[in-house]
Every structure is written in structure tokens, then in C-alpha cells.
Amino acid sequence: MTQAIDIENLSHQYGERLALDGVNLQIKAGEIFGLLGPNGGGKTTLFRILSTLLTPTRGRVRVLGVDPVDDGASVRSRIGVVFQSPSLDPKLTVLENMRHHGYLYGLKGALLQARIEDVLKRVDLFDRREDRAEVLSGGLQRRVELGKGLLHRPELLIFDEPSTGLDPAARRIFWDHLESLRTEDGVTMVLTTHFMEEADRCDRIGILDAGKLIAVGTPDELKRSVGKDVITLETQNPDGVAKQAQEAFHVVAQVIDGTVRIECDSGQDLMGQLYARFRDGVTSMTLASPTLEDVFIQRTGHRFEVAADA
């Protein structure tokens, strides 16, 4: 399978702050690839580089075989971009927003009209084409943004936090449209996200933290890399409980944000032993199979933190 994106030793600095640090990544044509990470992890910086908005400090990038620094116009003509911040004019109708976006790509006349009708039907908005953007729900507005990105029939779609501001139901509908586009048209999609459930729907994901790409693989591959059950204990004395658990049961117990986290091969058996020993000093105990957050914690030693305004 050919590569839609090829990144080698990519770094970028904002003054003294290193936002990307030696990133190497290949994204296959036709896949949905997610860049998962907390705020400040480097996702948006990478998004801006791939969409030709930012020139990297160091490294090599190829988007659809083209260097976005040397030939940004060629890259922009072949990609669709959906930004995190809304780009709709609220006072214009859906149809008017689409028409003005088409003009930017040199589309006009009967061709533009046919493209708009096709795209609006794909995203289930043809019946709302005369509605002003300001009266649409957040989920419908996001689908208009998706339609704009598809208007010039790009080979690659790049999204920056596409589900921000959407409720869970609207997020699921939006994702159904993305998967339909990939299946029917073979469009490659790259998205940044801080939603674990969104990353779980990608073909592959790359986890970014503090500018470093710390893991790449399918969601199942990454969760299997943890390979163990995860027990979490809440207690007023996490350091003491962690130390006693390690000494008594020969396990590795981490204190993460005031809770005790233990990875083990047989979680149910260990839960009973932990309860018998610590039931008077532990307020809650949970047992779970590995999640993408467990992958993040295992690789970084800290929790996946997202800012409150996200």
C-alpha cells in the first residue's frame, strides 16, 4: 500500500519550546489515522505542518508525495482541511457557504452546482441547504464543514479535533459519515483528537506526548501491548498502600495522580487478596481490561490530561 504521508525526523520549535521532537511516521493511503494526545502534546503543530500552514524547523515531510514547503499550492489543491474552529459564515445559508468555498478552488457554474448537490446528499444536508448556518445544531454545522472539505474531491482529508463541541450522539453520526467516505471513495483521513473513544474507531493511531511520538499501531495492538489487567485503588494513603502491595504481592504499583495503579496477569484473584488486606484503608477498587489511556500511562508515567475548555 502506498504512503499518503511520510514524515522523517520532524521537529518544530516555538522560541525555546520544542513542540515536535524527532517525529517519524508513515500513514498509508486509504486509512483513517488518528493523532491522539493531551493538550500541548504536539497534535495541532503537526496538523498545521501537514496542511501547509507552518514550516517545520527540521525534518522531512511528504504529503501525497509532495513537499508542502516546496510546493504548498499543489498540496492544498489535493487535500481537504477541517479546522477545529468553525469556518462557516453564520448569516449565510448552507448553500451559500458551500458556493463561496467552491469559488476558492476555482469551481463555478454547473460543475460547482453538481458538486454541491452531491456533497450535501452525502452528508445528509440537502434538505437543509436553504437554512442559515446559525440555526443549525453543532453536529449539523460540523457536517457542513465536512462537506466544504469534500467539495473539490480531495485525496486526503485532515481534521483538527473534528468532534470538539459535539455531544456523543452527534459525534457517532459524524463518524459514520467519515467511515462511509473512506469505504465508498477511498479517501485517506488524518485527524487529531483527545477523545479515547474516537481514537478507538481509527484504523491506526499515533500517540503524541510532549512533542514525541510514543506509540503507533492499531488500537487493539496498543492495548494488547499493555497485556495485563489493570487494578485501580483509591485511598487516603496511596504511597503507603502502593509500597505494601509491592512487598506483599510482588507487583509493580504506581501512584498516578493520587491513585494506586497495578498491572497484573490475573486481576480477579489479586482483587480478592487486595481487598482482604486493605479493605479498611481503601475507598474503592476497580478492575478493567487495558484501555488506550492505560497505554498512555504505561508509556509516559502520567495520566492523559485534557484542559477543561476542551
Give me the sheet containing 17-28, strands edge to edge.
Answer: 17-28, 3-14, 58-63
Question: What does R_g of the chain's alpha carbons equal in angstroms?
Answer: 23
Q: What is the pLDDT of residues 51-78, one digit of tens each?
A: 999 999 999 999 999 999 999 999 999 9
Nearest to 149 by CA among 176, 123, 168, 170: 123
Which of these ranges, 39-48, 66-75, 112-121, 297-306, has the smallest mean pLDDT? 297-306
**Which cell numbers in the block locate residue 283?**
475507598
Strand residue runs (E) in 64-177: 79-82, 156-160
Q: What is the pLDDT of residues 137-186, one digit of tens each?
A: 888 898 898 889 889 889 999 988 877 777 788 778 878 878 888 888 78
Which is it for the CA torsion 138, 207, 219, 274, positive or negative? negative
SS3 223: helix
Q: How many whole angstroms separate alpha carbon 8 and alpha carbon 6?
A: 7
**pLDDT beyond 70 at 310:** no
Q: What is the pLDDT of residue 138?
A: 85
Nearest to 148 by CA among 82, 234, 233, 229: 82
| CATH numbers and ranges of domains, the chain | 3-218 (3.40.50.300), 228-289 (3.30.70.920)
Residue with cell string 485532515: 158
Residue with cell string 499550492: 73
Q: How many whole angstroms separate alpha carbon 208 and alpha carbon 194?
A: 10
Q: What is the pLDDT of residue 306?
A: 60
Q: How many whole angstroms separate alpha carbon 203 and alpha carbon 303?
A: 24
